[in-house]
């Protein structure tokens, strides 16, 4: 029998390397980074899989008094007048393929499960990224992720709200010659595409704010480009919306215009604060070739804390460290 550690002991050592107590300085080799990435991705995928299974069964179940996922998804279709639906008096969609119903339930359940478990698997991603960030960068990243999540949910909620109105307009063309008989696959693809497009589109103003925070775009430029931005937003809404109805296009364009105006005002406040800070420090009065003033007065430095020594020496892995 060899003296090499078992698989479980190797995993235990890798967990020590990712913890503050077992690895105070937080340094990891390339191989250890890859092991940690694999572990975090595995946990995240397992969480998503559990959420997908839950969403799959939620399709036909009423949980905690809530409507089933199938009823929620089909609700916009029920907003179409009964005289324009193929199955008058009911809200059932057509199933034109053998496995169409199963695939719809699987697709919608996976999307719902991924959305519900988003805080859990995003936490795993954050645990892998956070050790490489400074405290200021962590706060910046948390603010960005939090705002992006809220904007995505707002965009998806707006899309779900206007789906019935958009369907009424779309199926209203030629209502005296046609009777609407939507297949389940086409309807679900339309709804999911609209939710995704609205949610992602609501992230655009946040990107503008982030660019202003890092100094790429100023408030003066945004105010100067306001008319062009509004025109571009309406063009983008006309191209991005999956349906040709004016309701979806106008709703997306107006919502993005309001969010961009809010982003411009946030940039205005940020630039004013930055200007006051520069003026207080006397940086605006300096020429381009003049050095910034520094205070060379010595200050009292606290005694550094002694380094934390691990209880057990770190075992060296038998491979060439590429880092």
Asked if residues 148 and 201 have their Cβ atoms less than 8 Å apart, the reply is no
263: how many CB neighbours lie within 10 A of its CB? Answer: 22
The residue to which tokens 């057509």 are assigned? 94
Which one, of 297, 269, 267, 292, lies nearest residue 281 by Cα?
292
For the chain, the structural domain boundaries read 14-202, 203-283
Quick: pLDDT tens for 149-207. Answer: 899 999 999 988 888 887 777 777 656 666 667 788 888 888 888 888 999 999 999 99
3-state secondary structure of 183: strand
Quick: pLDDT tens for 281-290. Answer: 665 555 655 5
Distance in angstroms (rounded) separating the CA atoms of residues 263 and 268:
9
Asked if residues 194 and 246 have their Cβ atoms less than 8 Å apart, the reply is no
In tens digits, the chain (323 residues) has pLDDT values of 444 455 555 555 555 555 545 455 556 677 777 888 899 899 999 999 999 999 999 888 887 778 888 888 888 888 777 766 666 667 777 788 888 888 888 988 998 888 888 888 888 888 888 877 778 878 888 888 888 889 999 999 998 888 888 777 777 765 666 666 778 888 888 888 888 899 999 999 999 998 888 888 888 999 999 999 999 999 999 888 876 678 888 889 999 999 999 999 999 998 898 888 877 766 555 565 555 566 667 777 777 777 766 666 555 555 555 54
Distance in angstroms (rounded) separating the CA atoms of residues 250 and 92:
29
**Confidence (pTM):** 0.71
**Amino acid 282: pLDDT:** 62
The residue to which tokens 């057990």 are assigned? 312
Distance in angstroms (rounded) separating the CA atoms of residues 20 and 25:
8
């Amino acid at each position: 029998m060899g003296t090499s550690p078992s698989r479980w002991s190797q995993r235990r050592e890798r967990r020590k390397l990712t913890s503050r107590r077992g690895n105070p300085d937080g340094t990891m080799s390339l191989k250890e980074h890859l092991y940690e990435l694999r572990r975090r991705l595995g946990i995240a995928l397992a969480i998503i899989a559990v959420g997908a299974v839950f969403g799959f069964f939620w399709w036909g179940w009423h949980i905690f008094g809530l409507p089933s996922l199938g009823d929620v998804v089909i609700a916009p279709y029920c907003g179409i007048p009964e005289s324009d639906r193929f199955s008058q008096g009911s809200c059932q969609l057509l199933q034109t393929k053998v496995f169409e119903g199963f695939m719809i339930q699987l697709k919608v359940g996976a999307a719902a499960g991924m959305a519900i478990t988003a805080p859990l698997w995003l936490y795993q991603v954050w645990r892998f990224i956070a050790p490489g960030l400074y405290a200021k960068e962590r706060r910046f990243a948390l603010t960005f992720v939090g705002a992006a999540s809220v904007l995505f949910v707002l965009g998806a909620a707006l899309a779900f709200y206007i789906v019935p109105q958009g369907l009424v307009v779309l199926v209203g063309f030629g209502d005296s010659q046609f009777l609407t008989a939507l297949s389940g696959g086409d309807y679900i693809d339309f709804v999911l595409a609209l939710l995704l497009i609205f949610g992602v589109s609501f992230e655009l103003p946040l990107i503008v704010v982030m660019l202003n925070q890092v100094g790429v775009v100023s408030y003066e430029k945004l105010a100067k480009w306001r008319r062009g931005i509004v025109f571009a937003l309406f063009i983008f809404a006309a191209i991005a919306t999956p349906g040709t109805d004016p309701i979806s296009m106008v709703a997306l364009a107006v919502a993005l215009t309001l969010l961009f105006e809010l982003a411009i005002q946030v940039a205005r406040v940020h630039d004013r604060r930055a200007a006051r800070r520069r003026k207080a420090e006397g940086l605006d009065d300096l020429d381009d070739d003049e050095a910034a003033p520094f205070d060379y007065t010595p200050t009292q430095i606290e005694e550094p804390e002694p380094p934390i020594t691990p209880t057990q020496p770190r075992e060296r892995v038998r491979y060439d460290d590429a880092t």
